[in-house]
Chain A
Amino acid sequence: MLGVNTVIAISLCYVAILFMVAFLAERRATRGNATWLHSPLIYTLSLSIYCTAWTFYGAVGYAARSGLEFVTIYLGPTLMMIGWWWILRKLVRIGRAQRITSIADLVSSRFGKSTSLGVIVTVISVVAATPYIALQLQSVTLSFAVFAQSDGQLWQDADLNATAMWVAVGLFVFTVIFGTRNLDANERHHGIVMAIAVEAVVKLIALLAVGVFVVWGVAGGPAEMMTRIDNSDVVLWDQNGGRWVSLLFLSGAALLCLPRMFQVLVVENADERHLAIASWAFPTYLLLMSLFVVPIAVVGLDLLPAGSNPDLFVLTVPLQEGKQGLAMLSFLGGFSSATSMVMVATIALATMVSNHIVVPMWLSMRPSQQAVMSGDIRHVILLARRLSIAGVLFLGLVYYRVSGGGTALAAIGLVSFSGAVQILPAMLGGVFWRGASRLGAAAGLLTGLAFWLWTLFLPSFGAESLIGQTVMEQGPYGLSWLRPQAMFGIVGLDPLVHGLLWSMLLNAGMFILVSLVTFPTPLERLQGAQFVNVFEHSAAAPAWTTAAAGAEDLLIMAQRIMGSEQAQAIFEREAARQGKNGFLPEVTPNFVELLERELAGSVGAATAHAMVGQLIGGSGVSVEDLIAVADEAAQILEYSNRLEAKSSEQEQTARALRDANDKLTALSIQKDAFLSQISHELRTPMTSIRSFSDILRDGDIPLSDQKRYSGIIHDEAIRLTGLLDDLLDLSVLENGQVMLHVNTGNLGVLIERAIGAASGLEDTLEIVCAPELAQMTVTTDLDRLVQVFINLIANARKYCDAEHQRLKISVLVREGTYLIDFVDNGSGIAIENQQLIFEKFSRVADGSKAGGAGLGLAICREIMRRLGGDITYLPGQYGTAFRVTLPK
């Protein structure tokens, strides 16, 4: 026989093993090689905390009492999981984007980071979880009692209470050690998660083992089992449709709303892809957990004496058959179910209590600036979490003592579920409906809470304990329409369906109605847009418009919450992003937003917002910002703007392509023209050279003519060479291959050089130089510059058609450039030709007068552009005028 002491010893060993597992996981995680801790398998197994001791023990009792109705508790979550694309994916994405720490944080953050909503949701969650935690304590205690009974002792209430207390103390120690290690709720609790995963496997194996034993060991095979089920007294299918549908809804909604499920599903989710795998793996787990429930119930009813508690068949059937080891395994399964649930539930609840109740209270008790600048907030928060864990466990114990531990497990579980799902309208409304408002959410939540307390929670303590029999039957003060199980005079409904129906209906109704008639604050609308459109809005709009706080103050505050290392890392990263050294970045609204979100990961959105607000001092988001970032119209506008930008971009590209094509065509035409020009230019001197050399070759010419002809040949050859030199020069300049020899020289001297070089024998040109020229120096390629000057002076000599040729050279200094003007007293150049003169081979005057091939000005322009200046025709000067611009 397994004595109680043996059972206690074995469970202590089991706890020690779990402790080791958690410790090792924690250590590996801190060493950084924890990738396998982020696997979808661990994620799925951690979801198994949905299957608590209620499931482990209670499902069999449930099946023995109500047949197949128990599967609804698993089918609801199954439907929710296979529909993950609808809701869960969005919740997980929001959880990550907004750094959500708990379900209270989700609701509070969505509705304008409201502290009061956080408090309401926290209160609902704690009250709803209390019966559930009591249930776990009760089941562990009862299972100890079973072993005591088989050992020949009959436990009294005192023994049960003492056991419950010791279990609670043990759970408290374990949870505090591994659950309040780090402050950031978004950082995974590796130790706890690993311990839960191990427990998930243990409870599955235990239940399957009992099931296999029952089907093959007791009944003798599946076929025999089916006959047994057929012949048993258990009525499997006698379902009340209302209850069936209500329970499917209730359990599905509970998967989202239970704080512990939200913790493992959303907060501890490391990767969205894990959801895809969990969407079928978790339902599979649930299926396996419920596969043998009916056989165990049927066999239990057959084997055990009438009146035995069906809730404990998982334990008592193996004991009855003398399978001590199996009974012990089954005990460990139940123990695992209870402990893992309590650990996660208390962590989730403690996070909510500390972030939404304790810390805001602590902050409000201090003067505003001092609160965030002094005092060790980290210690306050951690202490608050530890005390909250103790408080939640204590409440569970109280409920256990008050309720007397006698009620059927399933009934308590359902009461707890229906309390938690009161959060559903606010949560789903907040995530899918932008019109949902803070006041609407508060009204709905409070209405739901009130109706749930009255119709389900208070009656759950039993008829005579909190609500008297007369009130149950006739209503308070004789108001019969307020009877807890027949509200508004509607009788005959199942109490659970009744309570759930009224609380959810009025909850959702108030939520929608009040949301419709109230007007949300700017921050609410901003958050609403970010939540509802989480898949479209990746970039958050900053909720702060003014950023008056010093970076140093913000750093001090952040260090107090996140610890100095993490805070400094954030500040340093931001400073580096802004291109600054050190730890103090520019305090931009975007940075404040980022910092607030990081802080929210530790203390929740509402508290983080309040703390940042105290430092920033400025107003939060304004209506104008809101119109810009969150208004529907703005969004549509933005989208169409984006489209427009895209199409105009394409248009630009098309235009650029068209331009390029035109240019290429023009270039090709130019090239043809250039070739024909150049052949013409080369051909003319060549023709005369050829004809004169023909004459010379024939002989018979007088010496004087010989001399004249060879003179012509010589001149033409020189002209050709000059032309080819010019061409070469131009091509070098145009290709940018020219080497510049930069020197400093005096402008006046340079002009003198040019005049000297350009003067002919019979000089008719009078040149007037401005005296300022002699005082100016330039730093450039002087030879090239002189080449330009020579060209301009020579042009004036060649083309000036005035009787008395005169060229005026003047200089101006404007904005760091020299403007050197060459103005003659000729008749100037017609407007239509002014642009043309700089083109190659362009000659405005008739060719006979000009000696060149029309390359001079083209070369000048190329040179000046190489020198960083330009040469332009200067109109309106009563003569031909050129302006040379040159950087100083």
Chain B
Amino acid sequence: MSNGLKSKIFLEQAGYRQRRLRDALRFWPIFGCILLVIPLLWASEPADHALDTNALIYIFGVWVLLIAVTAIMARRLRVDDAPDPDFKP
């Protein structure tokens, strides 16, 4: 009896996690956009080479971060044909 109850609670939690993961998937590109336009706010003087390398490292760093987090989310996500459980018409 207690076993059945436990597994039910566990399933509920798993479903909840999946839904939040989908939310994360939705938020992540918006976050990415913001991260990628931040360098525009940096004060820039022409031919400032220190800024150059900083920008290079920053952009590629953000890039790697975006990919890594997406990869982690993609691994955890269950893609199936079932409709979005959050959907309420």
How many angstroms from the CA of A81 to the CA of B39 in the assembled complex? 22
Partner of A241 from the list B40, B49, B54, B84 (CB cut-off 8 Å) is B40
For A236, the chain B residues whose CB sits under 8 A away are 52-53, 55-56
- CB B81 to nearest CB in A, in angstroms, measures 8
Query: Is B74 at the interface (CB under 8 A from chain A)?
Result: yes
Query: Is there contact, CB below 8 Å, between B47 and A235?
Result: yes
How many angstroms from the CA of A385 to the CA of B21 in the assembled complex? 44
- Given known A71-B59, A276-B79, contact A79–B67 (CB-CB < 8 A): no
Query: Is there contact, CB below 8 Å, between B63 and A237?
Result: no
Query: Is there contact, CB below 8 Å, between B56 and A294?
Result: yes
The residue in chain B whose Cβ has the minimal distance to the Cβ of A86 is B26
For A71, the chain B residues whose CB sits under 8 A away are 59, 63
Q: Which of A201-247 contact B (CB under 8 A)?
A: 226, 229-231, 234-239, 241, 244-245
- Given known A75-B36, A82-B28, A229-B53, contact A238–B44 (CB-CB < 8 A): yes
For B25, the chain A residues whose CB sits under 8 A away are 83-85
How many angstroms from the CA of A237 to the CA of B81 in the assembled complex? 45
Query: Is A407 at the interface (CB under 8 A from chain B)?
Result: no
| Cβ-Cβ contact count across A and B, 8 Å cutoff | 116
Query: Is there contact, CB below 8 Å, between B56 and A229?
Result: yes
Query: Is there contact, CB below 8 Å, between A280 and B83?
Result: no
Query: Is there contact, CB below 8 Å, between B49 and A230?
Result: yes
How many angstroms from the CA of A277 to the CA of B71 in the assembled complex? 7
Query: Is there contact, CB below 8 Å, between A284 and B67?
Result: yes
Query: Is B15 at the interface (CB under 8 A from chain A)?
Result: no
| Chain A 56-98: CB-based contact to B (< 8 A → 1; otherwise 0) | 0000000000011001000100111111111000000000000
The residue in chain A whose Cβ has the minimal distance to the Cβ of B50 is A230
How many angstroms from the CA of A636 to the CA of B64 in the assembled complex? 44
For B40, the chain A residues whose CB sits under 8 A away are 239, 241, 244-245
How many angstroms from the CA of A280 to the CA of B65 in the assembled complex? 11
Query: Is A708 at the interface (CB under 8 A from chain B)?
Result: no
| Chain A 528-542: CB-based contact to B (< 8 A → 1; otherwise 0) | 000000011010000
Query: Is there contact, CB below 8 Å, between A237 and B87?
Result: no
Query: Is there contact, CB below 8 Å, between B29 and A86?
Result: yes
- CB B21 to nearest CB in A, in angstroms, measures 10
Query: Is A155 at the interface (CB under 8 A from chain B)?
Result: no
- Given known A82-B66, A277-B74, A287-B60, contact A237–B36 (CB-CB < 8 A): no
Query: Is A484 at the interface (CB under 8 A from chain B)?
Result: no
Query: Is A857 at the interface (CB under 8 A from chain B)?
Result: no
For A291, the chain B residues whose CB sits under 8 A away are 60
- CB A616 to nearest CB in B, in angstroms, measures 31
Q: Which of A336-351 contact B (CB under 8 A)?
A: none
How many angstroms from the CA of A294 to the CA of B59 in the assembled complex? 13
Query: Is B46 at the interface (CB under 8 A from chain A)?
Result: yes
Query: Is there contact, CB below 8 Å, between B46 and A238?
Result: yes
Query: Is there contact, CB below 8 Å, between B56 and A283?
Result: no
Chain B interface (Cβ within 8 Å of chain A)?
22, 25-26, 28-30, 32-33, 36-37, 39-40, 42, 44, 46-56, 59-60, 63-64, 66-68, 70-71, 74, 77, 79, 81, 83-84, 87, 89
A-B contact pairs, 9 of them (CB 8 A): A67-B52, A68-B56, A71-B59, A75-B59, A78-B32, A79-B29, A79-B36, A291-B60, A294-B56
Chain A interface (Cβ within 8 Å of chain B)?
67-68, 71, 75, 78-86, 226, 229-231, 234-239, 241, 244-245, 248, 272-273, 275-277, 279-281, 283-284, 287, 291, 294, 535-536, 538, 635-636, 639
Counting from the closest, the 6 A-B pairs by CB-CB distance are A83-B29, A280-B71, A236-B52, A237-B55, A85-B25, A280-B70
Given A78-B66, A79-B29, A84-B25: 7 more A-B contacts, CB < 8 Å: A75-B36, A79-B33, A230-B53, A237-B52, A275-B79, A277-B74, A281-B71
